[in-house]
Structure 1
Amino acid sequence: MSEPTIKLHQIQFLIQKQYGLYVSKTSCRKAKLRVMNEHMRDFREEFARLYDYAEQLNTINPGTTVSIRTSKNTIPGKEVFMSIYICLGSLKSGWKIGCRRIIGLDGAFLKSVCKGELLSCISKDGNNQMYPIAWAVVDKETKDTWSWFLKCIKHDLELTEGEGLTVMSDMQKGLHLALIDVLPNAEIRWCARHIWANWKKDWRGEERRRKFWQVARASFEVLLQSKLDDLSELGVGIVEALLKYNKEAWCRAYLWPCTYINSL
C-alpha cells in the first residue's frame, strides 16, 4: 500500500529476492487488485463520514468553514465526492487581525491512491513567517476549481473585489483567469522563482542567475533598465526571452507602494 503504482515485474522481483519463489504476473495482478480493493473500501467508508468530520471541526474550532462538493451524475443514484474546502475559524480571524494583505496560491499533486490535487492559500504574518489560511482537495486544477476555491476564500476573508490585496501565484492559466473574474481589483503578482525556473531552461549559468535576480530586485525603472542592459551582454536574445514574462507582474520596480512595504 506504500507503493500503489508498483509494477508487476517489480512485485515478482521482490518475491523472488525475499522468498526465492517465482510468481507469475497473473498471480501478482490478482493479489495487487485484492489488496487495493480492500484498501479502497476503507477509503469509501472515510469519504462517507466527511460531513461528520466537518461537524467535528466546527465543534472544536468555532467559525470554521467546510464546503463539500459532490456529484450525483457520475454514478446514478449515488453521491460521489468531488472536492472539499477547509478554512479553520482561528486561521480566518488571525489573518484578519494580524497578517499582511497578501496571499499566495498554489496547487500540488496528491500521490495517494485517490489522486487529485491540493490547492492552498497562505500568507505572511507580522514576523514574516508563512501563515496557512485555507486549503482544498479537488480532482484537478481548472478555472472552475480555482474559481470555487477563490470564492470561498473571498467570502471567508471578506475580500470584496480585492481592493488593497496582493495575490502571488505561479502563472497557472486557469488560476490567472479565475483571479481576474473573482478578485478583479487585486494586484496580481507572479512568483519570480517560477519565472527563473522556466527561463533558465534555455539560459543556464551562475552569472545569468545572478543577473536575473538583480533584474527582479531592481527597485526603480532606471535601475531596472540598467540591469537589463547588463543581462543583454550574456547572450543574443536573452533579454527578449525574459521579457516574454510581463515585467510589471514580477519586477520590484513595478510594485504598488503597499506591496513594497509588505515585502520588506
Structure 2
Amino acid sequence: MIEGSYKEQYARLRDYAEELKKANKGSTVVIQTEQVGAQAIFLRMYVCLAGCRQGFLDGCRPVIGLDGCHVKGPYPGQILTAVGVDGNNGSFPIAYAVVEIESKQSWIWFLRLLIEDLKITSGLSYVFISDKQKGLIPAIETLLPTVEHRMCQEPQLYLGGKQKWKI
C-alpha cells in the first residue's frame, strides 16, 4: 500500500520524465509506447541527464562501456547502460534505458539516442567495450562500423572462493 501499484506508477511515468527534464535542464528523456486499442502501453524509456552527458564530454576518456541486465518482477525487461571512464579510471554514468527485451532493435534504439546525445559522428575517436550482449555486436556494426569495439572478460565465481575468468 505504501508503494502503490505498478499500474499507478506506470501511469505517472510521463510526470517523472518531465520532472527529470525540469530538474536537469537539457537532459534527454524519451518514452516509447505501443498503442493497444485505445491504451498506450509502456515499451521503452531512455534517460541521459545533462550533467552526466557534459561531465563525460568534458572530463572522461573516449571509452564507453555498454551492458545490459534483467529487470525481475511482474513486468520484466532489460536495463541497458552506457558508462564512461573518468581520469581516475573510475566509472562515470552516461545514460540508461529500460527496454522490453534485449535485441538488436532495442540496442539500435538505445545507441541512436546515445550517439545523438554525445554528438558522435564517425566514431573513429571512440572505443566501445562490452560483453557479447544479445544483439549488441550487430547494432554497433550497423550504426558505427568504424568504431573500435572490444570485448571484456568477466570473472566467474565458483564454489570454494576460487576465481576463474569466463572467456
Scaled by the length of structure 2, the TM-score of the pair is 0.88
Deviates more, 1:44-53 or 1:63-72: 44-53
Matched ranges for 1:20-169 at <5 A: 42-72=5-35, 75-169=36-130
Structure 1 position 128, deviation (Å): 1.1
Deviation readout 1:106-148 (Å, 9 max, x if unpaired) = 1101113211111111111111111011100111100000000
The Cα of 1:173 is off from its aligned counterpart by 4.3
Asked if the contact 1:161–1:182 (Cα under 8 Å) also holds between the matched residues in 2, the reply is: no
Number of the residue aligned with 1:248: none
Higher RCO structure, 1 or 2 (CA under 8 Å, sep 6+):
2
AA matched with 1:44? K
Secondary structure of 1:100 counterpart: strand
Runs of 5+ unmatched residues, structure 1: 1-37, 198-205, 213-241, 243-264
Give the AA of the match of 1:53.
Answer: Y
Q: Percent of aligned positions with the same letter in both sequences?
A: 40
Instruction: Look up the match of 1:170.
Output: 131
How many angstroms apart in 2 are the aligned matches of 1:172 and 1:82? 20
Residues 31-63 of structure 1 deviation map (CA, whole Å, 9 limit, x = unaligned): xxxxxxx99x72112112211111111111111
CA distance in 1, matches of 2:46, 2:5: 22
Residues in 2 aligned to 1:47 and 1:120: alpha-carbon distance in whole angstroms: 21
Q: Between Structure 1 and Structure 2, which shows a larger proportion of strand residues?
A: 2
How many Å separate the matches in 1 of 2:44 and 2:120?
22
Determine if contact 2:68/2:133 at 8 Å carries over to the other structure: no
Write the deviation string for residues 190-243 of structure 1: whole angstroms up to 9, x where unpaired.
01337xx5xxxxxxxx8xx6xx8xxxxxxxxxxxxxxxxxxxxxxxxxxxxx7x
Higher helix share: 1
- Residue of structure 1 equivalent to 2:159: none
Paired AA for residue 128 in structure 2? V
CA distance in 2: counterparts of 1:109 and 1:192, whole angstroms: 19
1:126-180 Cα distance to aligned partner (Å, 9 max, x none): 1111101110011110000000000010000111121210000102241000001
TM-score normalized by structure 1?
0.57
CA distance, structure 2, for counterparts of residue 61 and residue 173 of structure 1: 32
- Computed over aligned residues only, the root mean square deviation of the Cα atoms, in angstroms, reads 2.2
2:69 is paired with a residue whose SS is strand
Write the letter of the residue equivalent to 1:193. E
What CA distance in whole angstroms lies between the structure 1 residues aligned with 2:25 and 2:109? Answer: 23
- Larger of the two Rg values belongs to structure: 1
Amino acid at match of 1:130: S
Q: Any idea what SS the aligned residue of 1:185 has? A: coil
CA contact (8 A) 1:67 1:85 kept: yes
